[in-house]
Amino acid sequence: MNVTTKVTLLSVLLFWSCVVECNNPHPLDPLTPSELKLIRTIVQKSYPISKTTFNYVGLDEPNKSQILSWISSNPKIKSSSPPPRRAFVVVRFQKHSHQITVDLSTRSIVSKNVYEGNGYPMLTFGEQTVASRLPFSYEPFKESLRNRGLNASQVLCASFSIGWFGEAKTKRNVKVKCYYTNGTANFYARPLEGVAAVVDLDDMKIVGYDDRYVIPVPKAEGTEYRASKLKPPSGPKLKGIAVTQHTGPGFTIEGHSVRGFISELFVSYQDPTEEWYYTTYFDCGEYGFGQSMSSLQPFTDCPPNAAFIDAYYAASDGSPVKITNAFCIFEKYAGDIMWRHTEIAIPNELITEVRSDVSLVVRIVSTVGNYDYVIDWEFKQSGSIKIGAGTYTHTDEIKEDIYGTLLADNSIGIYHDHFFTYYLDLDIDGEVNSFVKSKLETVKVKDENIARKSRWTVVSETAKTETDARINLGLKASELLVVNSNKRTKQGNRIGYRLLPGPVAHPLLLQDDYPQIRGAFTNYDVWVTPYNKSEKWAAGSYVDRSRGDDTIHVWSSRDREIEKKDIVLWYVMGFHHVPSQEDFPVMPTLSGGFELRPTNFFESNPVLKTRSPKPLQWPNCTSQ
């Protein structure tokens, strides 16, 4: 890229922080390892570490007015006058959720209270690990293994959230299900159906157990996916591809800030039986999309020209945990064309102008259960931002009744959904923005002297309140924009950015079904709310066993004014996944995405004078 690009990834995901050296740290920079250690030290003065679980540790963002004031201040004094640096912490102590605000400069707790609402904080890896080990010392489970002739050393267990289905009172319980690894690493493809334990996370003990029936464990044959274990013949061998930037990358990394992130990811399976009905997961609020990030593999997850950033989150005991190579950042050139034009109408002259499309990509992969989510934020020189989401999975279902597709012997891929909810605080050339709905409508041509009978036109409406901005896509042709009504181009157009949606999939569950009550933020594809520091997570702040009373659906029911306000655009992108045999044993990546595209933001084409990268001349070589 021919400009210096500041990449700032603040709250792209739950529970992460990065470490990058920069001269003027941004107030929204995530917590560093040393800060996480300090927070742990401060909290343990009031809460004994041995009896306390750290469920959330994140930056307590300064008020937006403070951030904007800091940004606009004199760069020479920024380093000495940032807003107060604070952390928001949720711990589980004595069976209650405690909310704590820690001031890092004064090294003190400035506020704390007990959360009294519905739902529980996110599951930690530490809790899940301990809960998953409990069955192995539980005699009824040992008996279940003996009845099936299974070797306990080849059994793995995992814990799963169980949702809420109208219970007046709930406990912080999870369900533990187990799998047989003998002969494969793809253990999700070999479940022990009919066997499940219920674990109380606060008491950390088994409080319920079922062994409902005995059916064969699916065979290990055909489930392997590791290249080193696959038997020949292999697939076609590809010729080598080289990616190089001989003069170095065209970007620099100076901090961490983008005000957009995945707020929630709702995954609902469509098997209503006793063993499966509760499988309606909230991958951000229940499991932590950020703490589930995987270390990216150079040359495969990311190209050779990628730069990498590590990430940190707080473990169950509050100590920092490092995720190596959590982010990769690279300039992408895949042979795409940014713009071109050929002119053949001029006599005796052929004009062809082409510009190569080079963009900046920020990538993470988050592994939640048996799904890997590949998330890309692609920043284009034209000013567009393309956001991509790809998924792939291991098959993990076996059923006698068919609620999915038969993929292999004794293996069924259950029908399910994925709904990605994005939080987008755009601030188009300032905070005062509006949301414009432009419908494309057919109009009859009234002039009888014209042979045409119809045309289409654009009818625009500025949303006044939150209800006006609830949109279900795909019903009518439309254009959706966020504009700054106070600023216009020389031609008089309001400057803005347009949402170009991705795949359209609406929820198919009944709206009074308990999973859909909790996932009501998927009832519409687009929501717009006034900016509120406390409204960041579409499913609420305490999602585990939540009741749907703290979601964007509830917040926006207040029908607040959004015209010429500091607003947030929420976009829901969904997939209905009907598995096929090609998804077994590991599914090829299924991708979708959307784009935020400048609309009258520039006076003309911003990349008209952009030059394509110079081709690199390789020395002649001979293949033997």
Residues designated as active site: 283, 371
3-state secondary structure of 42: helix
Which one, of 374, 304, 351, 395, lies nearest residue 581 by Cα?
395
What distance in Å separates the CA atoms of residue 107 and residue 114, rounded to the nearest whole number? 21
Cα radius of gyration rounded to whole Å, the chain: 27
Q: Beta-strand (E) ranges in 166-250?
A: 173-180, 195-200, 205-211
Question: Which helix (H) or strand (E) is 11 found in, with range?
Answer: none
Give me the amino acid identity at 506: H
- Which residues share a beta bridge with 497? 482, 598
**Other Cβ atoms closer than 10 A to 467:** 13
Cα dihedral 206, 211, 212, 218 sign: positive
What distance in Å separates the CA atoms of residue 285 and residue 121, rounded to the nearest whole number? 8
What are the tokens at 186? Answer: 């793809």
- What phi, psi does 297 have (nearest 5°)? -95, 120
Q: Beta-strand (E) ranges in 357-501?
A: 359-368, 371-380, 385-393, 404-408, 411-414, 416-424, 434-444, 454-462, 478-488, 494-500
Question: Which helix (H) or strand (E) is 269 found in, with range?
Answer: none
Could you please report the per-residue DSSP string of 470-515? -B-TTSS-EEEEEEEEEEE-TTSPEEEEEEE--------S-TTSHH
What are the tokens at 388? Answer: 């991509």
What distance in Å separates the CA atoms of residue 7 and residue 24, rounded to the nearest whole number? 14
Give me the amino acid identity at 302: C
285-297 burial, b if ≥16 CB within 10 A, otherwise e?
Answer: bbbbbbbbbbebe
What are the tokens at 276? Answer: 């499966």
- Residues 95/56, Cβ–Cβ less than 8 Å: no
Length of the chain: 624
Residues 6+ apart with CB under 8 A from 511: 517, 520, 523
Residue whose token pair is 């990065």: 18
**Other Cβ atoms closer than 10 A to 114:** 10
DSSP 522: G
Cα dihedral 298, 303, 308, 311 sign: negative
What distance in Å separates the CA atoms of residue 459 and residue 479, rounded to the nearest whole number? 10
3-state secondary structure of 597: strand
Which one, of 583, 182, 270, 185, lies nearest residue 411 by Cα?
583
| Terminal alpha carbon distance of the chain | 37
